[in-house]
Amino acid sequence: MAKLDSEYTIPDLAPELQRGPTWLQSRRQTLREKFNDLPLPPRGLHLWRYTDPSKFMQAQTAEASATGSRFADLIEQERKHLSESHLAGLVTDFAGRDIKALGVEKLAAKGVVITALSDAVESHLDLVEKHLYGLIGSEMGKFEAMNGALWNDGIFVYVPDNTTVEQPLHLLRESGGAGSAQFPRLLVVVGRNAELTIIDEYGGGSADKKADPAYSNGAVEIYGLEDSRTRYVSLQRNEAATNSYLTHRAKIASGASMLTVPLAFGGALSKQNFGVILNGPGAESNMYGMLFGSGRQHFDNHTLHHHAAGKTHSNIDIKVVLRDKAISAYTGLIRIDETAQTCEAYQENRNLLLSSGTKAETIPELEILNEDVSCSHGATVGPIDPIQLFYLMCRGIQLEAAQRMIVSGFVVPTLNRVPQDMRERITRFVDTRLENV
């Protein structure tokens, strides 16, 4: 168990975190100290203007319990998909500690590794040591250090060079109940000219608004080596009394492509940070995200496209739909290094507000250090256009149906940018959530 003391520091690591190779133990200790040394981010500071960081100061880890308690039906359904070869594998992760991989034997024959990170530090030491903490380490901030010190177990995925995993890999992460904290972690290495699709689903947590919230602090590191093709869907549909913090970083080499689909639907408070570093010529990153909030949900999302090499291409399209008193803050940073010539970077964030009590902020940020780039950003915040509504109603369509049509139409163009084979799965999640928005 890790516990925060009265001064919000981690006095020591639990014995179960003091296992494994020495380098890992020492990294954990360094990160623990880093966490203790760093103050809470001041509220005025860049990424903390909209969200109270003290909401994420919680470290009481969940007791292990039967995995998939809430997801029994979903797991059953995915087992069927596995047996019909519609799914490459299913990894269940309870409270960032109890990792089980299903259906991955077939992939093992191709050299694909899907395993608990705690096993991988032994079995694939070279790969893990080279990559773990490489993208999300102590330099990123207090909460990244917190995950780095306290992750109990994580998931490790490795696809060897020239290997294609044809069906998606589903990672199902379930948070513990009220008052619990979890620190899920994911490390993915996609080899040269290899191909992988991951659906990384975060659910569960606490639904009890009267009790302490469940807390999840996740870290996702993805490496796409030369000419690899990676598609990563992050689906957050936590229960209503769950606070979550997620940092995602991917680095892609020359000729590699990365599709990131952040979908944020659930929880009470959700702060997510998705970033892709384009590290070699010809690298391409696309992010197509959707966020639906209702009630008093609070979302705070940040994206980063960092062009560290020339002749790279990035595109972001994030759609936000809010109703009741939901809040969303989005900041999107495009950074283009001085040496990264001839880049293209586009960013668009549109917010549709269905109730007058909602609030949306959208802040594009550009740090462009050379002239030879094509760059654009667009942002809109507004209610449903009454003239669109009028037009649909003039054809006999009732008010509510017309509203639903416009909301669905608002997200569909973003959804349609997702490749056909993934779209079907995502559409299901989106439709289910839209029914309640």
Partner 1 sequence: MSEQQGLLEIKDIHISVEDKEVVKGVSLTIGRGEVHAIMGPNGSGKSSLSNGLMGHPSYKITRGEAKLGGKSLLDMASDERSRAGLFLAFQYPVAIPGVTVANFMRSAVLSHRGKDADMSDFRKLFKKEMSDLGVDASFATRYLNDGFSGGEKKRIEILQMSMLQPSMAILDETDSGLDIDALKTVSEGINRYHNDQNGVLLVTHYQRLLNYVKPDFVHVMMDGRLVKSGGAELALKLEDQGYEWVENELGLKAGV
Contact residues: partner 1, CB under 8 A: 385-388, 390-399, 401-402, 405-406, 408-413
User: Least distance in Å: CB of 415 to partner 1?
Assistant: 9
Please count the helices (runs of H) and the strands (runs of E) in the chain.
9, 20
User: Least distance in Å: CB of 399 to partner 1?
Assistant: 7
User: Least distance in Å: CB of 411 to partner 1?
Assistant: 7
- Cα-Cα-Cα-Cα dihedral sign, residues 140, 144, 148, 149: positive
Nearer residue to partner 1 within complex by CB, 241 or 320: 320
| Distances, alpha carbon 270 to alpha carbons 151, 278, 388, in Å | 19, 26, 31
Nearer residue to partner 1 within complex by CB, 72 or 412: 412
Nearer residue to partner 1 within complex by CB, 222 or 261: 261
Nearer residue to partner 1 within complex by CB, 21 or 409: 409
User: Least distance in Å: CB of 330 to partner 1?
Assistant: 20
- Bridge partners of 228, per DSSP, are none
Contact criterion met (CB below 8 Å) for 342 and 314: no
**DSSP secondary structure letter of residue 59:** -
CA distance 358 to 126: 49
User: Least distance in Å: CB of 402 to partner 1?
Assistant: 7
Nearer residue to partner 1 within complex by CB, 251 or 350: 350
Determine how many CB atoms are found less than 10 A away from the CB of residue 409: 12
Nearer residue to partner 1 within complex by CB, 70 or 404: 404
141: region left, alpha or beta (phi > 0 left; psi from -120 to 50 alpha): left
User: Least distance in Å: CB of 37 to partner 1?
Assistant: 48
Q: Supply the DSSP string of 323-351, one letter for each residue.
A: -TT-EEEEEEEEEE-TT--SEEEEEEEEE
